[in-house]
Structure 1
């Protein structure tokens, strides 16, 4: 739990609040569903606010599309894996046996519950600071032209359409301490003689960046 709080960048004054946020409904009545409901609302507001400030000329439809990308379950599950959240979840026996700690929906719900717990304990300003830090690279890489599908998905579909092997991602280097690591990832594809490299504070974001660079070299992006 201490390692998780370091990764989150927030230490709970009441550890039981974090325990509740990590408790799936399969453990019983004391679970994270109410915190998840609250965190979902706060996340939508904070990301909407950040997009409103970042894109001053964007239309409502553009902002809605970008927000949907950032708050969807897949993105939240990625963030959960960056925190290595799965190993800290409290699950009932059935969920444990079925691999619930790896399920995207459970991971995403836990992130929302943690946001709700931070808000209740520390208020909106602290919650905003943490959420924007977690989303820093994702927000920085967004443009109004950012497609609905991420670069990894588009690269995979492009290669499949040409019956080429799927891309291979390799971690070339990891720098920094556990709570502040920087990953260098290579993306290898059969259509290019050399891989593309990218760096980010999470492996998955680095993979997306390297995939975007490959698409650019292939003339797709």
Structure 2
């Protein structure tokens, strides 16, 4: 490992507030297979860690929401977890902790915008979780995950994000006749790592609702909810 790489990993440890005893594990978590393919001297990359991190993340979030929401049924808990650990959500966190800056990727992947791909960043975030688990244990990994996801979990549990308003809107409109429903992004704001999307929902070419969110899916759900409210639909479950 070069001195420059050690300095990069030292910077990253400060960002996530976790100090590694075995730095090579963190280096592995932040190395994409495309980089290894172009550097024969390096024999490791983060896919195995991503596999492990996915399970650890699911356990941490499942344990938290199981204890946090004692009155919610299994279906509700599953929907909360799915919203929290979805690819776009994990990629957003990866950008916040600057994984896109510190991950090693190949030149070909770099050219095609790999450094900002949600799938690559979400996988790397899960690999970092596994690296922390292997280096420092479950409790440290748990504290790390909840530091970034606890607020999101609480927001999802109380907000419209985990309600499927798009399906409700479609069901409502198709009761009597056929409608053409379309979602359009009408504005994007904020830096690349913390974008806000504004989406409108149109029915037969007419706008019936708008919504904002940290992801396109979140903005679409909020636009659908606003459309349902505008149509006078009772949203009480």
Q: TM-score scaled to structure 2, two decimals? A: 0.65
CA apart distance, 1:144: 6.5
2:107 pairs, out of 90, 93, 118, with 93
Tell me if the contact between 1:58 and 1:144 (Cα under 8 Å) persists in the aligned partners: no
Cα separation, 1, equivalents of 2:50 and 2:185: 36
Task: Give 1:200-219 correspondences, 5 Å limit.
Answer: 204=214, 219=229
Cα shift at 1:84: 1.9
Q: Which stretch of structure 1 is more off in the superposition, 116-125 or 68-77?
A: 68-77
- What does 1:190-209 align with in structure 2 at a 5 Å threshold? 204=214
1:75 equivalent in alignment to 2:89: yes
**Gap change, CA 1:49 and 1:93, over 3 Å in 2:** same
- The residue correspondences of 1:7-86 to structure 2 (distance < 5 A) are 7-28=15-36, 29-86=43-100
Question: Residues 100, 45 of structure 1: CA spacing in aligned structure 2 closer, same or farther, 3 A cutoff?
Answer: same
Distance in structure 1 (CA, Å) of the matches to 2:187 and 2:114:
27
| Contact kept in structure 2, 1:21 and 1:113, CA below 8 Å | yes
Query: How far off is 1:187 after superposition?
Result: 7.5
Change in Cα spacing, 1:45 to 1:98, as seen in structure 2 (3 Å) is same
What are the residue-to-residue correspondences of 1:127-166 with 2, within 5 Å?
A: 127-143=141-157, 146-148=160-162, 166=185
Contact 2:87 2:119 in 1 (8 A): yes
Q: Secondary structure at the match of 1:13?
A: coil
Q: 1:146 to 1:51 in 2, by over 3 A?
A: farther
CA deviation after TM superposition for structure 1 residue 99, in Å: 1.4
Which of the pair has more CA radius of gyration?
A: 2
Q: CA deviation at 1:101?
A: 0.6
What whole-Å deviation, never above 9, does each CA across 1:57-90 have from its counterpart, x for those lacking one?
1111221121111112111111111112111111
Give the drift of 1:6: 2.6
Q: Gapped runs of 5+ residues in structure 2?
A: 1-7, 37-42, 170-179, 201-206
RMSD: 3.9
Instruction: Sort the Cα spacing of 1:124 and 1:97 in 2 relative to 1 into closer, same or farther, 3 A.
Output: same
Report the counterpart of residue 176 of structure 1 in structure 2.
none
Count residues in correspondence: 198
Deviation at 1:33, TM superposition (A): 0.9
- For 1:177, the equivalent position in structure 2 comes to none
Secondary structure of 2:157 counterpart? coil
